[in-house]
Amino acid sequence: VTDDLSFEEYLVSSEWVAPADFEAQVKYIRDNGFTAITFEDLADLPQITKPVMLTFDGCWRDVYTIVYPLIQEYNTKITLFVWPDYLGEPGHLTEEQVKEMMASGLVSVNAGIEVYTPTDAIVQETLFERIDKPKEYVANLVGHDPLAFAYPVRGITAGAQEY
């Protein structure tokens, strides 16, 4: 969040896509011969025409209420990175919603963490704890180890410059 923008303006301007814009993007992918893939599809990558990967993190409820109906309509796959501490919280997905989406075959569920502390300020043991918890949680939720892990860049520093 910057001093120039409210929190809501920051989210909309930097991280969120309006539902109509997302639908237009998914339609474009379909109409222009792209194939939406997940990490499970990577072994077949040489045979896939124009692969593209759509990813979502944070476990926001709108993945279920907005994104999921659209990917069903357009038969498009997505990857969802689950932050265990957020499932079931207000405004976020429930475990049941995640399982339903995964059962559709259109949603790949993997692990992720939210880190707002610069990584150079996190001791190694704490960092591994932050990684192991979501990995174990997702493995129990989906029945296998996650194939991918999302590690956010927000708040990560490189010297004095944030990237």
- Using alpha carbons, list the distances in angstroms from residue 45 to 42, 78, 132: 5, 16, 28
| Average pLDDT estimate for 106-134 | 72
CA angle (117 as vertex; 86, 17 as ends), nearest 5: 55
Residue type, 139: A
Evaluate if residue 87 carries a pLDDT over 80.
Answer: yes
Torsion of CA 69, 71, 18, 142, to 10 degrees: 90
Q: State the average pLDDT over residues 92-107.
A: 94
Q: Among 71, 51, 60, which Cα is nearest to 16's? A: 60
Q: What is the pLDDT of residue 45?
A: 94
Report the pLDDT value the prediction gives residue 160, as an integer from 0 to 100. Answer: 34
Q: What is the pTM for the complete model shown?
A: 0.77
